[in-house]
Structure 1
Amino acid sequence: MRKAVVAEEESEIFRECDLDDKFRKPRSESKERILENFRTKCSSRKHCWGLIKSRLPIVDWLPRYSLKRDAFGDVTAGLTVGVVHIPQGLAYAQLASLPPVVGLYVSSFPVLMYPIFGTSKHISMGTFAIVSVIVSSVLTQHVPSDYCGPYTSSTTFSPISRAHFSTGYTTMSIPANTTTADTDCLQKYDNRMIEVCSALSLCVGLVQIFVELIRNISDTNIATLIVSILCVTFLMIGKTINERYKAKLRIPIPWELFLVAISTSLSYLLELHAKYDVDAVGIVPSAIALSAPNGGDVVALFFDSIPVAIASFAIAISLCRMYAIKHSYNIDSNQEFLALGMCNILGSFFSCYPCGPALSRSSINDGVGVKSQLGSYLSSIVVAVVLLWMGPLFEALPQAALAAIIIVNIRHVTMYWKKVPHLWRISRLDAVTWIVACFAVISSSVSVGLVTGVGFSILTVLIRMRRAPGISLRKVLAGGVYRNTKKYHTLSNKDLLIYQFTGPLFFGNKDRFNDSLIGHLGYDPVKLNLRREAEDDIDSPSEQIRETSSIEEQNLNTSDLSQNRVDIPMITKRNTALLPTPYRVVILDMVRCSFTDSDGARTLTGVCVALQGLGLAVMIVSCTDHVKSSLKASWENVDDVIFVSLESAIKYSNLETLRT
């Protein structure tokens, strides 16, 4: 075992290898412990039961369910959310370019799977505006233009089933290889892109609406226009009341349900469809349309289902975490992905389009006081009752009322452009991402815009990593605080250069690392070392002998200070006299370098070898385990220059200076 460097006053560890020799746990023990834990979990009934509960959360919470404690909140929330499902399902189905009855299917059947696999008590699965917009753009590419007819059969719904099954498969394929960190990273970029794309899609839709309005203004149906204005005004007043008296209202007033009831009644009594040609929902089938997914089309729809899956993922995880933090319970991100996938797969057999959680319904669950996932079953039962026995009551419902529900409920999304100046002040790259997503949506579609926005966000991360700057550090205070010399007044130390690279070192930024270090040194150590070696090759043998003997004398004079020390190349006047800068010690601070690849490791070790060849003392400090392993694979003697911390490297260099 290599001993630590012994100073004159006290014994202290400087190098990382000395720290590893003394305190690092043997790797064999870690592997054996992992295998032992695996064998214990596989053979223990307790751990197997825990695995079952983690994949089927209903097995965990249902035995602990208390009728006295939880039933009232679940029943109230289930009935209330079920009532809200009805107008939203009818409206959002038309937003997805589908018959209104499909929205009732989505609000009923996929919801049955979430309590079995889901871990959140508060989110409400069903129809969702943003997913409906994306589904609409996907279906227009695969479904005939006369798709949404007044009569619907299971054969007609088969494209939805195939798209829905593909979305469910996409949802389930992610958790197997997804960690919590990956989920966080995915969610961070997807939430912004979903809001941007949905806002822009609505804005683009408004532009197209205005163009068509001007083109066909002479064909305007005055009765439909009046119904639309009245419905929007009614809902705006109701939403304003809910927002103003939010603190006093235990649950939001379901104005959408009142609008559906009032508009349907007036449309039936006044015969708006027959007398004034106001479009109504029409025949609502009371039967359930069953359809089996066609596996042959899953591949064709797989890539189109990815934006739908991304949107559902991001919104679901955001809502789950929000309510989990508020009510102090835990959720499993991967399990939520699995639950969403199972909901979608079940819905594919009942002619549904992809489902997702809605903030409005989830907030009702929270306001009413839902206690468990059982409320989702009750809301599904309410929608199923309406679907099976009350469907004919909605035949006179004006489609203008459903359009008003859509416009009012997603009006806040169209205001996202107001956040762009604030986004610009926080991060200009994020603001540029918004603009890129804008042009992608305008020029193509919502799905392409979402994928483009997410891809550009990942590209900005790579750009930030590639443009990571290198800075020079010096001491600001006597207490060991080091800061950037360009931003702080620092204490002078002309013999020491502390260089810190502020990002990972890989093939994309290795040249930037090299150029930045050259800029701080004032010369290229690799080229200068090669030139020195070429000059030494043409020196006379007598000069080489004199230089060798002088170096040996210096080594003999300093050998008594530390017998067990592995020598760093000696700092001699002959080696450093002709250098463009007076630095005699170079410390490379890698505390902010999270990883390095083979190219980055070769670049770093090449610079270190070149600096040592010029007679400078080189030290690398604060390396992560990944960086250390990469450097060891690239340079055999790297253990001699890797130090525990910046302070230990500086203290060691001071001792070396005293010895020389």
Structure 2
Amino acid sequence: MAKATHNYGSTRSDPDESKPLAEMSSSDHAMDLPTPDTPGLVDFENRFKDPEEKTPLSTRLRKLVRKQTAGCSAKSSVLGVFPIVGILRKYNVKEDLPNDLVAGVTAGVMMIPQGMAFAALSTLPPIVGLYISFFASATYAVMGTGRQVSWGCIAVLSIMMGQILDKYDASVEEDRPAACINGSLVTAAAADAGSNSEDPSDPLTARRMEVASGVTLVAALVVIVASRLGLSRVASLLSNSLITGFTVGIAFHVGTSQFKEILGVPVARQSGIGAIVKTWVEVLKKVPDTNVATLLTSIACILAIYLVKRFINEKYKQKLRVPIPIDLIVAVVATLVTEYARLHDDFDVRVVGNVTTGLPAPKLPDLGLSSSYIGDGLIIAVVAYTQTLALTKTFGLEHNYPVDPAQEMLAAGVVNLVCAVFSGYIAAGSVSRSMVQSGAGGRTQLASLVAAGLVLLVILLAGPYFHYLPKCVLSAIIVVSLRSMMLKLLTVPDMWRRAPLDCAVWVFTCTAVVVLNPDLGLLVSVLLSLLIVVLRSMVGPVAEAGQIQVGGGSLSVEIRSVRGYSAAATSPHAKIVKVKTPVYFVNSEAFVTGVYEKTGIYPLEIRKARKKAEAKSSKDQNSPGTYRKTNGDSAEKNGKLELEAEEDKSMQARHETSPGSSGQCGAALCPLVVLDAAHMAFVDLMGVQALQMVIKEMKSVDVEVLIAALPEGVIPLLKSTGFWAQHGDRLFLSVDAALASRLAAASRKQAESAH
């Protein structure tokens, strides 16, 4: 018969090699198992692993620097930092330009009312939202890799920035009952009134804008440095479930904050734990004072915006070349009606007021004002980057172009740096506008430049025309925009059925953000996510496994956990234990205990039982007139333990009923345990110690432990700790190879003894 060839590094192998152990006879072992020519893991590494270069650290650093700078010509540097250059070099004017123009104008039309509305969420003047929309869109178009992503103000970040400004207002009020600004004394009441001014030239408003810009500047610099250090993977700490739950929780804050404008009643902003409940209490108290004109205007605007978006833009999305810009239409119409019907003068409908024209002068903010809120700003920056990266990857997959997370982080940092210098705050990609820009046919980042140009025209020319824009109209735009977020609540039951843990994170995050506040809710949610990761590695790090013979034209064997695979064959002569998680300091103890439980072999108790049996045997032999023959020696040789039932019933019952144990090892120990380490992604020092403990403890009761399918990444640590040199003969490329090597050795030994 031709010699079987072994498939290294795989649990699949040739048919004769892969028979389940329980079905193999001695003749099978002798004929079909891999011969001694089949190498173990150590032999394999020695034969095929490239020799490691032992070079000084300084030399390695120089090589790393040369590698990083190799090929970094001016051309490649420009193309890397400014992706739009590469886009424009391949730009097809005839095909791409018309689509980008339409998409850019559509997105820009949306930016104007949304930017003003979302800036109001942050308690800053609406013109700030236009500043952010222009500078963020223009800068990202040059540096970003997302071709359909529309940057600017978004509700989530605006409400979080508003809470930072609330903290600043509270600190000013606590520090001094009278605020001294620009040399003039202002009473606390006047300061409070000034904080609500829509005029950027107002001293208190200018100071609050500087606080927001200062927080943004520091956060931007940190993000830029992080991008150069390769820390873009920090976004992996925030899962999609966490981000979605967070945005839905924020939506409750955003919606609650708008009811004072919808009803036209003055309600003090609340902050801290339970802010939503406190706000609703205040709103309900002020319901009798509702401004009827404001309420009717709000209802009319909400209905108009919702009906057009829901029953025209969405329903006929495939037929419409561009969606109807209902937000801008409602804002323009409401402004005209308010001005000519004198709603502001005669019915006290609150309006935006003075909207300055022209771009702000670049200015570095006073970082001393914002030093206490840097941590909050970093949280906002992480949320902004994570949400935008997820959005960019979505469009990259949809339109088949690559997305560079490191470049996206650099772009996010530079965008926010520019916004900070020009009186703005942290920006991000807008989901709704990006979808519209993509649906309108946007091909490249040039669409964002077109949108930025439209916003620039408004800033330079049309600002004063929005003087009579009612604030309740901006609130109506915001409330309708929350619909898509709120609809995500309907996905919870289906998410629970598909992924209970992810659903738990989603619900917990949303609840924490609503009950606590956005930054604290996000923090505890991240901690919960990390805790779940740790608990997953602690609970059930190992499982008893067996062999499943599958086939068709070519038979093979797969290793699967016994739990859930009743067809998985086990053997009384060997136990296969699948290591399902990394083995490190968190779960090293659970790993050791798990191996004992899944094999049904508890070395400490077995040694105690043996000593007890030996003591009893010795006592019986030394008793006068009494002789009792025992088989302790043969049990020791064969790796079996036979105990009289009355000796230790409790321990035997534990062996027979231990989870994952077949009960066969309670009386006769399995001589071989194979650890399938294919999923053991990494180990640390405590993990190596746990492996050594399992080997040592099992050896003390005559059970051999082999380790199979070790990932390549764990080998260096095994070598550096001495585990490789000490236990190299126990390491194999696959479970098949480990089982076959010992069975072949046993067969040869049996054949030699027969001769």
TM-score by length of 1: 0.87
Cα distance change of structure 1 residues 29 and 44 upon mapping to structure 2, 3 Å threshold: farther
Picking from 463, 466, 485, the partner of 2:538 is 466
Give per-residue Cα distances to partners, 1:222-241, cap 9 Å, x unaligned: 11111011000101111111
Map residues 448-467 of structure 1 onto 2, 5 A cutoff: 448-467=520-539
Q: Which position in structure 2 is the counterpart of 1:501?
A: 579
The range that moved more, 639-648 or 7-16, is 7-16
Contact residue 675 and residue 706 of structure 2 kept, 8 A: yes
1:142 is displaced (CA, Å) by 1.3
The range that moved more, 69-78 or 312-321, is 69-78
Picking from 644, 650, 653, the partner of 2:733 is 644
| 2:41 aligned with 1:16 | yes
Q: Which position in structure 2 is the counterpart of 1:280?
A: 351
Contact residue 286 and residue 387 of structure 1 kept, 8 A: yes
Give per-residue Cα distances to partners, 1:170-224, cap 9 Å, x unaligned: 3323323446765455454553343343244347657656533431222111111
Cα distance change of structure 1 residues 428 and 301 upon mapping to structure 2, 3 Å threshold: same
CA separation in 2, counterparts of 1:417 and 1:474?
42
Picking from 645, 653, 659, the partner of 2:742 is 653
The sequence identity of aligned pairs, in percent, is 26
1:137 is displaced (CA, Å) by 1.6
| 2:431 aligned with 1:359 | yes
Q: Which position in structure 2 is the counterpart of 1:248?
A: 319
For 1:650, the aligned partner's letter is: L
Map residues 171-570 of structure 1 onto 2, 5 A cutoff: 171-178=223-230, 183-184=235-236, 186-188=238-240, 190-202=242-254, 208=277, 210-240=280-310, 241-290=312-361, 291-297=363-369, 299-477=371-549, 479-487=556-564, 488-525=566-603, 528=606
1:509 is displaced (CA, Å) by 1.2
CA separation in 2, counterparts of 1:585 and 1:294?
70
CA separation in 2, counterparts of 1:285 and 1:171?
31
Contact residue 145 and residue 407 of structure 2 kept, 8 A: yes
For 2:530, the aligned partner's letter is: I
Structure 1, unmatched stretches of 5+, are 541-570
Give per-residue Cα distances to partners, 1:399-454, cap 9 Å, x unaligned: 11111000001122123332222232233333332343244324431121122222
Cα distance change of structure 1 residues 326 and 492 upon mapping to structure 2, 3 Å threshold: closer
The range that moved more, 313-322 or 251-260, is 313-322
Contact residue 605 and residue 634 of structure 1 kept, 8 A: no
1:110 is displaced (CA, Å) by 2.7
Contact residue 196 and residue 437 of structure 1 kept, 8 A: no
1:322 is displaced (CA, Å) by 1.5
CA separation in 2, counterparts of 1:574 and 1:79?
83
CA separation in 2, counterparts of 1:217 and 1:466?
53
Map residues 46-57 of structure 1 onto 2, 5 A cutoff: 49-57=75-83
Contact residue 161 and residue 212 of structure 2 kept, 8 A: no
CA separation in 1, counterparts of 2:718 and 2:588?
14
For 2:196, the aligned partner's letter is: C
Contact residue 134 and residue 307 of structure 1 kept, 8 A: no
CA separation in 2, counterparts of 1:535 and 1:294?
81
The range that moved more, 462-471 or 117-126, is 462-471
Cα distance change of structure 1 residues 464 and 107 upon mapping to structure 2, 3 Å threshold: same
Give per-residue Cα distances to partners, 1:287-339, cap 9 Å, x unaligned: 43444222334542220112211221122112211211122111211111111
Cα distance change of structure 1 residues 596 and 237 upon mapping to structure 2, 3 Å threshold: same
1:30 is displaced (CA, Å) by 12
Map residues 36-55 of structure 1 onto 2, 5 A cutoff: 39=66, 42=69, 44=71, 49-55=75-81
The range that moved more, 337-346 or 128-137, is 128-137
1:502 is displaced (CA, Å) by 1.2
Q: Which position in structure 2 is the counterpart of 1:627?
A: 714
| 2:197 aligned with 1:126 | no
| 2:178 aligned with 1:106 | no
For 1:225, the aligned partner's letter is: L
Cα distance change of structure 1 residues 312 and 151 upon mapping to structure 2, 3 Å threshold: same
Contact residue 621 and residue 646 of structure 1 kept, 8 A: yes
| 2:659 aligned with 1:588 | no
Cα RMSD, aligned residues only: 3.2
Cα distance change of structure 1 residues 630 and 524 upon mapping to structure 2, 3 Å threshold: farther
For 1:481, the aligned partner's letter is: E
Cα distance change of structure 1 residues 119 and 616 upon mapping to structure 2, 3 Å threshold: same
Q: Which position in structure 2 is the counterpart of 1:573?
A: 637
Q: Which position in structure 1 is the counterpart of 2:185?
A: none
CA separation in 2, counterparts of 1:324 and 1:574?
63
Cα distance change of structure 1 residues 603 and 353 upon mapping to structure 2, 3 Å threshold: same
Give per-residue Cα distances to partners, 1:33-70, cap 9 Å, x unaligned: 99879647745466x63244212223323334444443
Contact residue 194 and residue 311 of structure 1 kept, 8 A: no
For 1:49, the aligned partner's letter is: K
CA separation in 2, counterparts of 1:150 and 1:96?
12
The range that moved more, 68-77 or 504-513, is 68-77
Give per-residue Cα distances to partners, 1:144-166, cap 9 Å, x unaligned: 65423032224452112112212
For 1:222, the aligned partner's letter is: V
| 2:198 aligned with 1:150 | yes
Structure 2, unmatched stretches of 5+, are 1-5, 7-28, 171-191, 260-275, 551-555, 619-634, 643-664, 751-755
1:22 is displaced (CA, Å) by 1.6
Secondary structure, counterpart of 2:549 in structure 1: coil
Contact residue 242 and residue 506 of structure 2 kept, 8 A: no
Q: Which position in structure 2 is the counterpart of 1:613?
A: 700
Give per-residue Cα distances to partners, 1:358-388, cap 9 Å, x unaligned: 1222123212322322222222222122112
| 2:233 aligned with 1:168 | no
CA separation in 2, counterparts of 1:399 and 1:419?
33
Secondary structure, counterpart of 1:498 in structure 2: strand
Contact residue 106 and residue 355 of structure 1 kept, 8 A: yes
Contact residue 170 and residue 309 of structure 1 kept, 8 A: no
Cα distance change of structure 1 residues 108 and 40 upon mapping to structure 2, 3 Å threshold: closer
Q: Which position in structure 1 is the counterpart of 2:661?
A: none
1:535 is displaced (CA, Å) by 11
Contact residue 194 and residue 450 of structure 1 kept, 8 A: yes
Q: Which position in structure 2 is the counterpart of 1:560?
A: none
1:657 is displaced (CA, Å) by 2.0
| 2:171 aligned with 1:84 | no
Contact residue 183 and residue 333 of structure 1 kept, 8 A: no
CA separation in 2, counterparts of 1:534 and 1:255?
87
| 2:115 aligned with 1:63 | no
1:27 is displaced (CA, Å) by 2.3
Q: Which position in structure 1 is the counterpart of 2:689?
A: 602
CA separation in 2, counterparts of 1:176 and 1:306?
17
1:626 is displaced (CA, Å) by 3.4
The range that moved more, 76-85 or 98-107, is 76-85
Contact residue 161 and residue 353 of structure 1 kept, 8 A: yes
